[in-house]
Amino acid sequence: MAQSGLNMSRRIRRSPFTDKVEEYGVRGFSVVNHMLLPKAFETSVEDDYWHLREHVQIWDVGVQRQVQITGLDAARLVQMMTPRDVRQAKIGQCLYVPMIDEDAGMLNDPVLIKLADDKFWLSIADSDILLWVKGLALGLKLNVDVEEPDVSPLAIQGPKAIALMADLFGEAIRDLGYFQYGIFDVLGTRQLIARSGYSKQGGFEIYLHGGHLGSDLWDMIYQAGKQYNIMPGCPNLIERIEGGLMSYGNEFTRDNNPLECGFEELCYFGDDIDYIGKIALRRIAEEGPQKLIRGIKFGGGKAPPCGKPFLVTTRDNIHIGQITSGIYSPRLKCNVGMSMMAKGHWDFGTVVFVHTPDGIVREGTVSPLPF
């Protein structure tokens, strides 16, 4: 079953932009961080894909909640929660940081935003990191405040995003490097805008502080975007998989460590910093990971929706992986997916067999990410 009804209630929170996405014809949602994430509008995933690659889209990604950590011990606490060396993080910079537990299991993969020497946001994927941070802070008696502020990102993605954003917020926005942010005038307020987003087509995220401004911000961008052929959109499954953008809960969970996720470059083992899970992670690094994230290209015609993972086997039916996100790519003219692949089976070009729920066994090959 690819889609089924979603019952609405207060528990599944609306974002500041939900009224607008409903007005603009949203047809499907997912739930992330107890909040609605639009997943489909009136056009097909394929049409959305081509549009995203050519024009500009506006995405309600309010589900990327911020966990705000402020106080004297804020920097210390942030470093304790990630194997990445974040001592050199600069104000104005966004950093992708794996977060792990004491067994080196992945808890989340947020973007860390340093707002001041004693103030950080973790812009999170789908787990209640607020509770982890609060529990640690309380247990360790740290001098920090941990809260979820009224900050909801709105993404402007696609190759024409830069022209649109320069029209609205000034030419200075062109100077932002990838994963840098600045503070800009927006509707009479000062707002954080980062050059970032959950696509590889370029674009920005406006971290709207003040949910009451949500509809006005949407309208302002949509009006100005008409000349760039703007459309409402959402993270596009084809584009995301082609771009090798993983999703917490799909490609990896608490059962995976950062080395399996390909985050070796983000794991620091020097003696001059310590973090939760360092001992476990060092042991895993010494032994080498037992699986590794990979792309899989596979044929057999358009695969059905990947609501349940697709089993990946050898020719002899030995289980060597599972495709956790997969879809047909109209550009590559084959199916593409991401899978953790068992040791010995992750070399590029390895022939594999993908078992889809329609009963078809599809031949494929291990491929680098992004595709």
Residues at the binding site for substrate are 205
Return the SS3 of 261. coil
User: Between 85 and 148, whose beta carbon lies closer to a copy of itself?
Assistant: 148
Cα(140)–Cα(146) distance, rounded to whole angstroms? 13
Residue 204 Cβ, how far from a copy of itself at the closest point, in Å? 25
Q: In this complex, which beta carbon is closest to a copy of itself, that of residue 75 or of residue 80? A: 80
C-alpha distances in Å from residue 72, one per residue of 145, 230, 253, 334: 9, 43, 31, 52
User: Can you tell me which residue has the tokens 């470059």?
Assistant: 265
Nearer to a copy of itself, 77 or 155 (CB): 77
Nearer to a copy of itself, 2 or 190 (CB): 2
Q: How far is the CB of 88 from a copy of itself (least distance, A)?
A: 26
CB of 213 to a copy of itself, least distance (A): 18
Instruction: Find the shortest distance in angstroms from Cβ 56 to a copy of itself.
Output: 23
Q: How far, in Å, CA of 293 to CA of 296, rounded?
A: 10
Q: Which is nearer to a copy of itself, 6 or 332 (CB)?
A: 6
**Residues present in the chain in total:** 371
Using the CB atoms, write b or e for 160-172: b if 16+ within 10 Å. Answer: bbbebbeebbeee
Do residues 296 and 241 lie in contact, with contact meaning Cβ atoms separated by under 8 Å?
Answer: no
Of 304, 311, 345, nearest to 327 by C-alpha is: 304
Binding site for a copy of itself (CB under 8 A): 1-14, 22, 26-31, 34, 39-40, 101-102, 107, 126-129, 131-141, 247-250, 276, 305-309, 324-325
Whole-number Å distance between alpha carbons of 186 and 68 = 22
How far apart are CB 317 and a copy of itself at their closest, in Å? 19
Listing DSSP states for 301-316 in one string gives SSPPP-SSPEEEE-TT
Residue closer to a copy of itself (CB basis): 126 or 205: 126
Task: Indicate the residue type of 17.
Answer: F
Is 311:355 a contact under the CB 8 Å cutoff?
yes
Nearer to a copy of itself, 8 or 91 (CB): 8
**CA contacts within 13 A on the Cβ side of 60:** 33
The pairing of beta strand 231-233 with beta strand 351-355: unpaired
Residue 130 is encoded by which pair of tokens? 């607020």
Nearest approach, Cβ of 77 to a copy of itself (angstroms)? 10
Judged by beta carbon, residue 106 or residue 186, the one nearer a copy of itself is: 106
**Residue ranges at the known binding site:** 205
Cβ 25 to a copy of itself shortest distance, Å: 11
Classify residue 124 as left (phi > 0), alpha (psi -120 to 50) or beta: beta
Q: Which of 143, 18, 16 is nearest to 76 (CA)?
A: 143
Is 350 in contact with 365 (CB distance < 8 Å)?
yes
CB of residue 22 vs a copy of itself: minimum separation in angstroms? 6
